[in-house]
Amino acid sequence: MKRIFLLTLGLFALTFSAMAQHVDRSSFKAGFNAGIPVGDASEISKFSIGLDLAYHWSVSELVDIGLASGFINAFGETKTVTVGNVTVENEFEDFQFVPLTGSLRLYPTYDFKLGADVGYAVGINDGNEGGFYVRPSVGYNITGNTELNVSYINISNDGNFSIVALGILFLF
């Protein structure tokens, strides 16, 4: 896992140095997202919120690369299971992550974009080791400096923690 992260970081460093002369559309982005855990994560959480932060540099008119981070909080669920005369209540704590990623955006049109963030999500609550982070996304500019996006967040270690999210980003 560490090799993948270091390799990704090294590739982005090489890319940044290669494109140092072409920075005509750099932008800082910040926003929020709300999501619904899916798959195994839906058994322990029903809702998540997050903060998104990114800085992108233009490589060409169609491609931006950058760095992205943020915060994700998936709210823990309380489950009650009854077997015969025995009732057991399981209470799951909130899961919290800070993703540290490289970011790629493709612009087939001015308003529409496709992208992905890849890196590592640091688990910050007790017992949460974090894991490999992948987040493909589709975005649409609803105004000149506001983007609405849909993404699929997957954090994998020994298992997968996945969220389908709707977000809004503001460009600065």
Domain boundaries, the chain: 2-171
* 64: β partners: 58, 105
What pLDDT is stored for residue 1 in this prediction?
Answer: 58
The DSSP secondary structure of 39-101, one letter per residue, reads: GGGGGTEEEEEEEEEEEEEESSSSEEEEEEEEEEEEEE-EEEEEETTEEEEEEPPPEEEEEEE
Tens of pLDDT along the chain (172 residues) come to: 556 555 555 555 545 444 444 445 688 999 999 999 999 899 899 999 999 999 999 999 899 999 999 999 999 998 887 778 888 888 889 999 999 999 999 999 989 999 999 999 999 999 899 999 999 999 999 988 999 999 999 999 988 999 999 999 999 9
The conformation of residue 120, written as its DSSP 8-state character, comes to: E
What pLDDT is stored for residue 4 in this prediction?
Answer: 58
Whole-prediction pTM value?
0.81
Q: Which residues contact 6 (CB under 8 A, 6 or more apart)?
A: none
Class of domain 2-171: mainly beta
Dist CA 60 CA 63 (whole Å): 5
Contact 147, 27 (CB under 8 A): no
**Per-residue burial over 7-18, b = 16 or more CB atoms within 10 Å of its CB, e = otherwise:** eebeebeeeeee
The conformation of residue 4, written as its DSSP 8-state character, comes to: H
* 166: β partners: 34, 150
Provide the pairing of β-strand 27-38 with 45-58.
antiparallel
Expressed in angstroms, the distance from the first to the final Cα of the chain is: 33
